[in-house]
Every structure is written in structure tokens, then in C-alpha cells.
Amino acid sequence: MPLSQLDSDLDRLACLAGRSRRVTELPGGLTNHNVRVRTDDGGDYVVRCSTEDVSLLGIDRDAEHHNTRRAAEAGVGAGVVEYRPDLRMLVIEHLPGDVLDNAALADPAVLGRAADAVRRLHAGPRFDGDFDMFARQATYLATVKSEGFALPDGYDDLADAWHDVRRALAAAPRPTVPCNNDLLAANFIDDGERVWLIDYEYSGNNDAAFELGNTATECDLTPELTEAWTVAYFGDPTPADLARVRVQALCSAYGWSLWGFIQAATSTLDFDFYAWGEERFERAAAGLRGPDLSRLLTETTGG
């Protein structure tokens, strides 16, 4: 977004009206342009600006706003200050703390605080809408094919294994809980005493094991760290808990890889989305073709 347009839009926000401000760019954001706004009278906000058409990605900005509020009610998310869909802007409170990276989760104390944050989110108020990666994957795949977007060779060869995974998870269904569904390391903010969770673009009620498995995938956790992450969340996980998280990590990688292929064809950002998607596809393919899949699916159902 041009700086002149950003300044003009910020002037139209009620929370900034008549207040002198300083604006700084924030890193990250592949579907948002994020800025920090500090006012001379002590206000400190993050303004999330949606600048591109995200309809092909299935993002619902009204649901994002609603669920961001619910996460704040759960005591785990930033408070919402103002929502202006006409400006494509969501203003939230700035959270003090460090943005995590993948390496930070190797620290047991950080891992424990992160797991506590996820538990608090999952115990909080229900979200607006549900998130089902199987439905999302089907929609994304239909988009890729109908639009003629590039897809790696062998993606469709995993369809039978994908259906086996779906059947196994459905055979032992679990209650859904409010989930972020996109907890990469950059969406954890650690102030040293507690961890906060941000970015609710893909939020919805879902299987808690998907949340854990998605983080394992996005944060590139080793098998040992994935188990430690599962233990940190559950306390004393059952074999079914451990297996379900590993299986849902494969679901995350296989489904979200399509997000990368759609972005590669449509986004104007200078980012290698195709390589991002390909890395996740290759990780999913290794697991869906691997010797452990049958055992994991059996353990997932409690067999």
C-alpha cells in the first residue's frame, strides 16, 4: 500500500482521530500489510491492512475480527480496538514481547508457555465458523485445477493415502475447540512470563490435534520436539494423542501446500510461494508414503 494511501486511511480511524502518531513497518505478513502505530499520548497499536484479494484462500475478514475478539476474551490474544472492513483494517493492541522463531521452541520453558497459551485458547469461547482441513484441501485443489495453477508431479498420487487418513480420524472423532490453525512461530509472542497468540485469519473450531500438528509442521519440529510439544499440551498424552498429532501434522503439510501454489500464481509479493508449498508437499509425501503411516492410523483410532 502506498504510504500516502496508508496515511489517509489511518486518518479515518476513530481510534487515531486527532492524535499525533508514529508509524513503523512490521515484518512478515503474507496476506496483510502490518504497521505499528504509537501515539504521543501513549497509544500503541498494530494495524492489520488487507491489501490483496484473498477470496481464493478462503479468508473471511469478519470471522477473523470476531475470533480475534474471542481470543482476547480467552486471555490469550490482543484486544481489538477498531474494525473497519470498508478500509480493510483491523486495529489491535500491541503486545509487548518477543516474536518466536523455530529455534526458540527447543527451550522447554518457552515450549511450556506456548502450550499453556494454546490450552487457554482451546478452553475459551467458541469461534465463528469451523475449520476442516479436508474440506479446505478439496476447495484449494479445485481452485488450483480450475485455474490451471502449477502443481507438483505426484500430488494426486497421494489421494488414496489422504482418504485413509480422513477415515481414520473420522473413526475416532473428538470435540472441536477454538483453534488458530496457523500457529507458525511468528504467531507466538513471548513476554517471558506468558505467551500470546496472534493472527486469526484461518481460525475456526477444529480438532486440537490439528493445532498441535500444524505447529509441528510450521515450526519444523523434530519428532522428539513434536512429542515434547504434545506432552507439554496434554500433560500425559495417550498413544492415540501422540499418533493423532503426528497424523494431523501430515494433514497440515498436505493441505497448506496448496495455499502456497495458489499464492505462487496470484500474489504480487516478492516471495517464493511455490518453493514454500513444495517443501510442505514433500514433507507430507514422505509421511503419507512412509512405513509408519499404517501404525499411526491404527493408534489414532485407539487400536
- pLDDT score recorded for residue 183: 96
Tell me the pLDDT band of 33, cut-offs 50, 70 and 90: confident
Residues 216-239 have a mean pLDDT of 97
C-alpha span between 52 and 57 (Å, rounded) = 11
Confidence of residue 46 (pLDDT cuts 50, 70, 90): very high
Q: What is the pLDDT of residues 126-142, one digit of tens each?
A: 999 999 999 999 999 99
Across the range 201-225, mean pLDDT stands at 97
CATH class of 98-300: alpha beta
Please, what sign has the CA dihedral across residues 162, 145, 55, 256?
Answer: positive
How long, in residues, is the chain?
Answer: 303
First to last CA, the chain: 53
Per-residue pLDDT tens digits for 256-294? 999 999 999 998 888 899 999 999 999 999 999 999 999
Q: How confident is the model at residue 303 (pLDDT cuts 50, 70, 90)?
A: low
Average pLDDT over residues 15-40: 84
Whether residue 1 is predicted with pLDDT greater than 60 in this model: the reply is: no
Average pLDDT of 16-32? 81
In this prediction, residue 27 carries a pLDDT of 75
Q: How many CB atoms lie within 10 A of CB 179?
A: 27
The residues, ordered by sequence, that sit 6+ positions from 191 with a Cβ below 8 Å of its Cβ are 95, 96, 97, 98
What CATH architecture is 3-93?
2-Layer Sandwich (3.30)
pLDDT at 28 over 90: no
Higher pLDDT, 200 or 50: 200
| One-letter amino acid of 136 | R
34 near 28, Cβ under 8 Å? Answer: yes
Judged against a pLDDT cut of 60, whether residue 2 lies above it is answered with no
SS3 annotation, the chain: CCHHHHHHHHHCCHHHCCCCEEEEECCCCCCCEEEEEEECCCCEEEEEECCCCCHHHCCCHHHHHHHHHHHHHCCCCCCEEEEECCCCEEEEECCCCEECCHHHHHCHHHHHHHHHHHHHHHCCCCCCCECCHHHHHHHHHHHHHHHCCCCCCCCHHHHHHHHHHHHHHHHCCCCCEEECCCCCHHHEEECCCCEEECCCCCCEEECHHHHHHHHHHHCCCCHHHHHHHHHHHHCCCCHHHHHHHHHHHHHHHHHHHHHHHHHHHHCCCCCCHHHHHHHHHHHHHHHHCCCCHHHHHHHHCCC
Per residue in 140-193, pLDDT (tens digit) is 999 999 999 999 999 999 999 999 999 999 999 999 999 999 999 999 999 999
At 54-101, the pLDDT tens digits run 778 878 899 999 999 999 999 999 999 999 999 889 999 999 999 999
Beta bridge partner(s), residue 204: 179
Domain boundary assignment for the chain:
3-93, 98-300
Regarding beta strands 195-197 and 177-179, do their DSSP bridges make them parallel or antiparallel, or are they unpaired?
Answer: unpaired
Q: 49 pLDDT exceeds 90? A: no
Mean pLDDT of 22-49: 85
Q: Has residue 104 got a pLDDT over 70?
A: yes
Assess contact for 44 and 94: CB atoms under 8 A: yes
Residue 123, C-alpha cell as written in the block: 478452553
Residue found by looking up cell 507466538 in the block: 188
pLDDT, tens digit, 9 for 90 and up, residues 233-266 = 999 999 999 999 999 999 999 999 999 999 999 9
Question: What does the pLDDT read at residue 7?
Answer: 77
Residue 25: predicted pLDDT: 85
